[in-house]
Amino acid sequence: METLLESLLGNKIFEDEFDDVFQPMPMEEFVKNLTSQKGWSQNKDGSWDVEGDVSLSAMGLTKLPIRFGKIFRTFSCSHNSLTTLEGSPRRVGGGFYCNNNQLTTLEGGPEWIGGQVWADNNQLTNLVGGPEYVKGNYWVTHNNLVSLKGAPKKVGGKWELEGNPASTDELLKTLEK
């Protein structure tokens, strides 16, 4: 005798209904839903400021869907397939998370970050194009870093550099040059 689950899984009508429910949302519709939330405002230049957090994590993105201005709290675009940070906010009041992507550069990313940065598990060889100021820790572990060229003028927390071709000591010495 067939169980209820087996019966449902073998039922073509159920499969069609299941597929309809779990279709990905078109990007245009997603952006409309995203930007219509409370605390989102569009600037004259077309960028978006957000009075809160933004999470675009684990969405299969290869690029950011809109251009951001200021994010008052945290901004996460981690666990995607991003190859560029173009469209990232200029200022982030909290943490900035772009870890677990395919980034080879930080160009296009924020200039100022009021929390920590997680840019680990990418393909960065240096920090050119990255933020000028980071209030918290700066995580760039498990990249291809050979120097910290382009490092922020100020990092308020500590550097996290493990898992790169150059050792932590070697990388920190490149800050002194």
Domain extent listing, the chain: 1-36, 40-175
Per-residue pLDDT, 44: 97
Q: What pTM was estimated for this model as a whole?
A: 0.84
Per-residue pLDDT, 25: 74
Per-residue pLDDT, 68: 98
User: Quick one: DSSP state of residue 154?
Assistant: E
Per-residue pLDDT, 122: 98
DSSP-assigned letters across all residues of 18-83? HHHHTPPPPHHHHHHHHHTSTTEEE-TTS-EEESS-EE-TTS--SS-SS-EEEESS-EE--SS--S
Per-residue pLDDT, 12: 52
Per-residue pLDDT, 3: 56
Average pLDDT, the chain: 90
Per-residue pLDDT, 17: 56
Q: Which residues does the chain have with pLDDT short of 70?
A: 1-24, 176-177
Per-residue pLDDT, 175: 87
* Structure confidence by residue, pLDDT tens digits, 27-40: 888 888 888 889 99
Tell me the three state secondary structure of residue 138.
strand
Structure tokens at 2: 């067939």
Distance CA 68, CA 84 (A): 14
Distance CA 147, CA 71 (A): 29
Distance (Å) of CA 74 to CA 9, 37, 89, 96, 172: 41, 16, 10, 6, 27
